[in-house]
Structure 1
Amino acid sequence: MQARQLNLLAYIHRAQLAHQVAMAHLVTLVSWHQLGQTQSTRRAIGNPPAFLIAKLFGPRFARSYGVFPSRAAPYSYGPGALQASLQRHDAVVHRILAQVAREQWRQMTSLRDAHMQRVLQANYVSSTSSHSGVPAMQVRDDTFPRLLSWQSPSDGQGIEALTHVVTRRFAFLRPRDLTWASAWIVQLRCPNTRHQLRRRGHTFLDAQGRWGASDTLSFHALRSNRWIGCYFREYPMGWATTGSTRWQRGRHYVERPLTEFSSQDFWRWYSQHSGLHARAWRNNPLASSYAVRDRYAPAAGAGLPDVLGLSPQGLQQAKSRFRLNLRTSLAVSDLGQQWRLSWLGRDDAWWRTRPLVRSSVAETYFAPPPSAMGTPELPSLFRPYWQARLAADPALRTGATP
């Protein structure tokens, strides 16, 4: 019974991981939907124009610039529908799976004992016998409550680290970074530098364990003047951010970016905000600022859930034991029903009241299948490889007969 409970917890934890992968995909889809919308708008107003992108970087970039699926397309879903699905996943994670895990944890030993009692009832109670014939059960030396402990998402056995490992397997959730340089030499002052097309995108977890995604696309035109030399003039082509954010104001974006630069030269604005994080200027700082300004911020989820893991004692020895004592008398035991000696009498023989006690030890342990790499697999509550068996009773002397 205990092995079944541990395997159930392992399947619950694996389901938690699956829901996190689904939520990461949904957040990324919302961000991509917004990116397509803003690209479509920028292409419509010609800032920058699609023919210029085709001339500098090739027709494939121009074709994808501003392509936005029709609302009538069966595969097109708006941010509202995607966000509703995201909230349903979050509800399943915290209101169903996490609650079931907690109920299992609270009732583990009581469910086990009740199950053993039902087995005794089924074997000792019949239409011709009374409940008084059921042996009295006593559980002793139970180490199972000390096997497990609750783990926060950031703990060593928490769900956060494993979530990152699992999501890295999906190309859709990996960093969406691309820098494409034009082949044209446009500034004699810096002949080794070219116009650039920068695509940036990330799906991530914030400090509270909530999913967020950001996507930007900008054309960086190489410019030069006598005051600051060569610099990149950024023309945002698309931007989006949804859910949580890990950008910091003053490091990755500015709070109130200019929508157009007719009243101020871009290079002057650039100089005023050169205190941004150095990496920001290798990305798309203006598009990132627009993304934060137009951020789609739905209702925040509950974050990553706590999970059950092995306690420090359980990590040292991934097994638990308990001793089961059954107490009855020969009068109601199977032996007493079959053992008949006429000279001892039938009803009030002294041997019928003699107590009969039997003891056995059960063990729950982690038994994974052989690894293809030949390395032993560490015990985990994310692997449903828990089994049960009878174990030797350490209280018996060596060579003694139980």
Structure 2
Amino acid sequence: MSAVRGPGRRRGARHAASRAARRRHAGQALVVALGLLLAGGAMLHAMYSAGRVAAAKQRLVDTADAAAWSAALWRARVLNYHAYSNRAILANEVAIAQSVTLLSWSKYFERLARNAATVGTVIPPARLVLEGVADAATLARESAERAAALEIAARGAERVGYRAILQASQEILHLSTQGFGASMVAAEVARANDPSFFAWVLPDPSGAWLELTHRADSDAERRRFADLVLASLDPFTAGPRSADVGLPVPCLGLPVLRKRGATMLSQDLERWEAVDTLSVHVNRPRRLRCRDGEALPLGWGAAEAGTALGAVVGTERGVADNPDANALAGTTISSFRAYSGIARVRELDYGRLADPRFPSPVLAVLARQPGAAVATSMSRGLAAGRMLPPDAFAGGAAPHLWALSAAQVYFRRPADAPARIEYASLFNPYWQVRLAPPTAAHRATALGYVR
């Protein structure tokens, strides 16, 4: 009986011991599970905050790039505006020269028509023609004189003329590209990306932008612009408006008609002068030489814009060949004092540029975002307990995120333009913009703000 019951008791004892051991170890597994859950939560908390911070930093960097590019683009567009307005000012100068030219020629033709009887003694068939158009010539001269007065006053008046308005607009727009104006562009772009973003243009210790352009008012610079104006004149305006009519037989006393005319810019660049004359010349032998002499003025006319001299003083392009006719033209010269001389345009300051051929100033923008605006777990109240450590943006530990970016303004012909190199100037609107690395000076300046 005892032999049968012994093994059963032993098995029961073992089962009881096993159940007791399982009960003792069950509490330990719960602790491990809770620890793993806590570690996972902390890791998730850290990963969420780190991811949000990384995303915020990337957005801020992209915004800084956009702000720098936009501020530099504004500068490039202002430079292109300078190019267009310089061309407009050049065309304005050409229009003034054309006005005095047309008036001079119309006065010349009116005088020639009024002198029909005198002309008829030299060219008999011309008398009837000139007498028939005399009244029309007077009407044309009066119309040209009124038009020239209005044209020159509207274009050349010192303070309210078309040219003065263009020059003033250049100065206003140039001021808008300085630190404050460019910073407004950068800040607007930053706010458009995120209302919590703020950006501004850093001051440039090198002064590259301030030294890029200036008002070209020296004599040499004005002369260079005047050469451009003279090269842009049409052939009729530039002259010479000259012709010789007569037999090519020297020293026989035969009459020769000499038509002379030109439009000239004074040496001081303050006055346009146009003159047209026609005179009869006679070649006669004098002291074993054949000499040409003005015998009879037939037509003359002159006009001036700028400093009023009341006389024809230019001698270029053969206009001095008819001195008597020139003197008569000077007595009736039409003067327009509204013109104030060759314009002073905005141009590159080549003497101060490190690279006069291809200047490329760099603009740097510093952007920031308040740390409280970064959507971490702490800032969103997702980890308000005591078990998880605070992230870097809890309690104002990191007040701002920062990003530094830079862009460069440069001059380059469009890709579809003829393949040739063109140096930078403010007469062709080829200024563009690209992102560029910040300079060492910009980085040092940015560190001063971040600290």
Q: Which residue pairs with 1:273 in the alignment?
A: none
Q: Which residue pairs with 1:267 in the alignment?
A: none
Q: Which residue pairs with 1:115 in the alignment?
A: 185
Q: Which residue pairs with 1:212 in the alignment?
A: 273
Q: Which residue pairs with 1:174 in the alignment?
A: 239
Written as runs of structure 1 = structure 2, the 5 A alignment for 1:210-249 is 210-223=271-284, 231-243=292-304
How far off its partner does 1:322 sit?
Answer: 1.8
Flag structure 1 segments of 5+ consecutive residues without an equivalent.
126-132, 254-276, 398-402
State how far apart, in whole Å, the 2-side matches of 1:73 and 1:278 are.
30
**Aligned with 1:160 (options 216, 222, 226):** 226
- The answer on 1:20 being equivalent to 2:90 is no
How far off its partner does 1:217 sit?
Answer: 0.7
Q: Which residue pairs with 1:146 in the alignment?
A: 211
CA 1:340/1:172 → structure 2, altered by over 3 Å: closer, same or farther?
A: farther
Rg larger for: 2
Residues 89-137 of structure 1: CA distance to partner in whole angstroms, max 9, x if unpaired? 1133443111111222333213222222222233332xxxxxxx33353
SS in 2 for 1:99: helix
Deviates more, 1:291-300 or 1:342-351: 342-351
Q: Which residue pairs with 1:89 in the alignment?
A: 155
SS in 1 for 2:77: helix
CA-based RMSD: 4.1
SS in 1 for 2:97: helix
- The answer on 1:202 being equivalent to 2:262 is yes
Residues 137-170 of structure 1: CA distance to partner in whole angstroms, max 9, x if unpaired? 3513362111112212743475212111211x44
**Aligned with 2:352 (options 309, 313, 324):** 313
Deviates more, 1:112-121 or 1:24-33: 112-121
How far off its partner does 1:340 sit?
Answer: 8.7
- The answer on 1:47 being equivalent to 2:121 is no
Kept in 2: contact 1:197–1:217 (CA 8 A): yes
**Aligned with 1:34 (options 88, 103, 107):** 107
Flag structure 2 segments of 5+ consecutive residues without an equivalent.
1-73, 444-451
CA 1:392/1:77 → structure 2, altered by over 3 Å: closer, same or farther?
A: same
**Aligned with 2:402 (options 338, 343, 357):** 357
* 2:212 maps to amino acid: L
Written as runs of structure 1 = structure 2, the 5 A alignment for 1:284-303 is 284-303=322-341
State how far apart, in whole Å, the 2-side matches of 1:16 and 1:216 are.
30
* 2:371 maps to amino acid: L
How far off its partner does 1:330 sit?
Answer: 3.0
* 1:285 maps to amino acid: P
SS in 1 for 2:330: helix
SS in 1 for 2:241: coil
State how far apart, in whole Å, the 2-side matches of 1:304 and 1:349 are.
66
CA 1:338/1:23 → structure 2, altered by over 3 Å: closer, same or farther?
A: farther
**Aligned with 1:332 (options 355, 373, 377):** 373
Deviates more, 1:219-228 or 1:207-216: 219-228
SS in 2 for 1:18: helix
* 2:215 maps to amino acid: W
State how far apart, in whole Å, the 2-side matches of 1:40 and 1:204 are.
25
State how far apart, in whole Å, the 2-side matches of 1:16 and 1:77 are.
25
Matched-pair identity in %: 25
Residues 255-309 of structure 1: CA distance to partner in whole angstroms, max 9, x if unpaired? xxxxxxxxxxxxxxxxxxxxxx999797111101111122222324111221111
How far off its partner does 1:216 sit?
Answer: 0.5
State how far apart, in whole Å, the 1-side matches of 2:417 and 2:192 are.
43
How far off its partner does 1:3 sit?
Answer: 0.5
Kept in 1: contact 2:279–2:299 (CA 8 A): yes
Q: Which residue pairs with 1:388 in the alignment?
A: 433
Deviates more, 1:76-85 or 1:384-393: 76-85
State how far apart, in whole Å, the 2-side matches of 1:85 and 1:36 are.
21
Aligned residues: 354
- TM-score normalized by structure 2? 0.66
How far off its partner does 1:32 sit?
Answer: 1.1
